[in-house]
Amino acid sequence: MHLITRPRLVRAALLLAGLGSIAGCNTVTSAMSDGITSVITPYRVEVVQGNVVTREQIAAIKPGVPRSRVRDVLGSPLVADPFHAQRWDYVFLIRRPGTEPQQRSVVVLFEGDLVKSVDSPELPSDREFVASISRPINLDKEPKLELTPEERQALPPPAKVATTEATNVPLGAARTYPPLEPQ
């Protein structure tokens, strides 16, 4: 009579191997936290949601402007609730690596089909917005666009091309075409 059958022995070995690997994870993780993971950083995805609304766009939205004009200037609202049909919400969120996250919310209220009021925080101009999301570029010196006369003199002279009558002969078979218009 066998005390432990073969399938039970295999199951017990697998169970012990699994428990051993789980127990080893903690020591591997703690050893790696000081090593390679401190050098390699994960990719951070850029998150852009909603509509960018700038000072110039809001200046075009005044009380009495129709909904269609608001949609043309600001785009489709991020939130257009059917239970609050007289309110459009324009929310903007951007998170880029290397720049400060930005979040703004603009609310346009309507009375019928015309704008009643616009509630918005202090918005940046077009240029200010682009500058706020652009990463700084360090140009220590102006790019060189032209050679000095000394540098031009130091250049080798261009190679001369031998001109013969053979180079003026057209290559391939000469074709004659009928005239485009009758004569």
Q: Which pLDDT score, from 0 to 100, does residue 34 have?
A: 59
Q: Which amino acid is at 97?
A: P
CATH number of 47-133: 3.30.1450
Query: What gap in Å lies between CA 158 and CA 143, rounded to an integer?
Result: 26
At residue 118, the 3 state secondary structure works out as strand
What single-letter DSSP state applies at residue 134? S
pLDDT value, residue 98:
72
Where do the domains of the chain lie? 9-34, 47-133
For the residues 63-70, what does the mean pLDDT come to? Answer: 93
Q: Which pair of structure tokens corresponds to residue 67?
A: 């909904």
Cα torsion 150, 154, 157, 158: sign: negative
With 60 as the cut, is the pLDDT of residue 31 above it? no
What digits encode the pLDDT tens for the residues 90-137? Answer: 999 888 877 778 889 999 999 999 999 999 889 988 888 888 777 666
pLDDT at 58: 92
Q: Looking at residues 171-179, what average pLDDT do you find?
A: 76
Structure-block tokens of residue 61:
């939205």
Distances (CA, A) of 26 to 13, 33, 174: 21, 11, 82
Q: Nearest 5°: phi and psi at 81?
A: -80, 125
- Give the pLDDT band (50/70/90) at residue 17: confident
Residues 6+ apart with CB under 8 A from 80: 88, 89
Q: State the chain's mean pLDDT as an integer.
A: 79
89 within 8 A of 120, measured Cβ to Cβ:
no
pLDDT greater than 60 at residue 69: yes
